[in-house]
């Protein structure tokens, strides 16, 4: 049974997405001279980045093009079922949220970068989800390789979701923030100060670069919860994925 502050959204009879509750209130967005105090209403956000298994349900229902390393299949290799889905662009992530909204009857969306950062830092201004000091989780386990045909193998650049949980979780229980992958947000990559009314949260202007938050699997570069990465909405990489939000 889910804790009272969590939600579980069913995708199929045996696949669901866990979300954690982020309470309303103030937090610090950004750092240094760009820091600002923001207040957000209560919302929910995915406990983990969306997995290949969860994304597969969407592909099978819509017949959209799968990530390249799935080798044209609508189901992922078994070895990466519980890894975060990657190789998706911002438009793919947005399409998933629209599909899950229709399926669940709830208004699912990509988190804004403000929501993502609050979920990672809470209200105490910490630098990382787990505190102010980088945690070296040790030598990363060797990720699996996938056979993609013609005697060619691809080395996966992700880890199973929650593989460093709970020691690297945020105070709200969000896992894999500043670990594993860069995650698409709804927000366009405009300069601070952050103002949700200045057009950056428009979902119709595909000419804008969009924000990604997080880090890469190997953790060799200790990106923190204030770091921003930007990419055009049509760009997909083998370390770009997403998590969902509600509210």
Query: What would the two tokens of residue 86 be?
Result: 């990657």
User: Based on the number of CB atoms within 10 Å of its own CB, is 101 exposed (0-12), middle (13-18) or buried (19 or more)?
Assistant: middle
Residue-level pLDDT at 85: 97
* Distance, CA of 157 to CA of 180 (rounded, Å): 8
Q: For residue 132, what are its two tokens?
A: 């102010």
- pLDDT at residue 143 in the model: 59
Give the mean model confidence (pLDDT) for residues 208-218.
88
Q: What is the per-residue pLDDT for 79?
A: 85
CA distances from 144 to 69, 76, 82, 154 (A): 12, 13, 12, 9
Q: Which of 87-96, 126-135, 199-208, 220-229 has the highest mean predicted lDDT (pLDDT)?
A: 87-96
At residue 70, the pLDDT reads: 87
Q: What average pLDDT does the segment 213-242 reach?
A: 88
Q: Please give the backbone phi and psi of residue 116, each rounded to the nearest 5 degrees, phi first.
A: -60, -45
DSSP string of 167-201, one letter each residue: TT--TT---STTSS-EEEEEEE-PPSSP-TTTTTT
Residues whose CB falls within 8 Å of the CB of residue 25, separated by 6 or more in sequence, listed in order: 39, 40, 123
192 φ, ψ to 5°?
Answer: -75, 155
Query: CATH number of the domain at 6-131+145-246, please?
Result: 3.90.1580.10
pLDDT tens-digit series, residues 110-164? 999 999 999 999 999 999 999 999 877 654 556 556 554 455 555 677 889 998 8
Model pLDDT, residue 3: 46
Write out the two tokens for 199.
């057009």
pLDDT at 1 over 50: no
Q: What is the mean pLDDT of residues 100-113?
A: 97
- pLDDT attached to residue 157: 76
What is the structure's pLDDT at 216? 80
- How many angstroms separate the Cα of 172 from the Cα of each of 95, 115, 119, 143, 245? 27, 12, 7, 28, 14
Q: How far apart are CA 39 and CA 25, in angstroms?
A: 5
Candidates 209, 31, 55; CA nearest to 120 is: 31
- Read off the pLDDT of residues 65-82 as tens digits, 9 standing for 90 and up: 999 888 888 999 888 899
What's the rounded Cα separation, in Å, for the pair 136 and 128?
Answer: 12
Tell me: pLDDT of 220 over 80. no
Per-residue pLDDT tens digits for 18-68: 999 999 999 999 999 999 999 999 999 999 999 999 999 999 999 899 998
Per residue in 163-202, pLDDT tens? 889 999 999 999 999 989 999 999 999 999 999 999 999 9
Report H helices in the chain: 52-62, 90-104, 113-121
Enumerate the domain spans of the chain: 6-131+145-246
Percentage helix, strand, coil for the chain under 3-state DSSP, each rounded to 5: 20, 25, 55
């Amino acid at each position: 049974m889910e804790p009272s502050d969590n939600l579980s959204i069913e995708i199929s009879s045996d696949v669901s997405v866990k979300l954690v509750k982020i309470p309303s209130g103030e937090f610090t967005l950004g750092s240094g001279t760009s820091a600002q105090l923001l207040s957000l209403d209560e919302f929910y956000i995915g406990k983990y980045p969306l997995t290949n298994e969860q994304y597969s349900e969407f592909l099978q229902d819509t017949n959209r093009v799968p990530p390249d390393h799935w080798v044209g299949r609508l189901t992922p290799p078994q070895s990466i079922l519980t890894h975060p889905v990657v190789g998706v662009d911002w438009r793919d992530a947005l399409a998933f949220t629209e599909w899950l909204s229709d399926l669940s009857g709830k208004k699912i969306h990509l988190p804004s970068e403000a929501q993502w950062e609050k979920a990672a830092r809470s209200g105490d201004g910490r630098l990382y989800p787990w505190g102010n000091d980088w945690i070296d989780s040790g030598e990363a386990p060797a990720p699996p390789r996938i056979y993609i045909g013609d005697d060619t193998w691809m080395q996966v650049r992700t880890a199973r979701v929650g593989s460093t949980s709970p020691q690297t979780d945020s105070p709200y229980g969000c896992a894999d923030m500043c670990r594993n992958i860069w995650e698409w947000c709804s927000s366009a990559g405009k300069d601070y100060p952050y103002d949700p009314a200045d057009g950056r949260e428009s979902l119709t202007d595909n000419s804008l670069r969009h924000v990604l938050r997080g880090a890469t699997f190997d953790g060799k570069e200790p990106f923190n919860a204030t770091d921003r990465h930007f990419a055009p909405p049509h760009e997909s990489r083998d370390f770009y994925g997403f998590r969902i939000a509600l509210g």
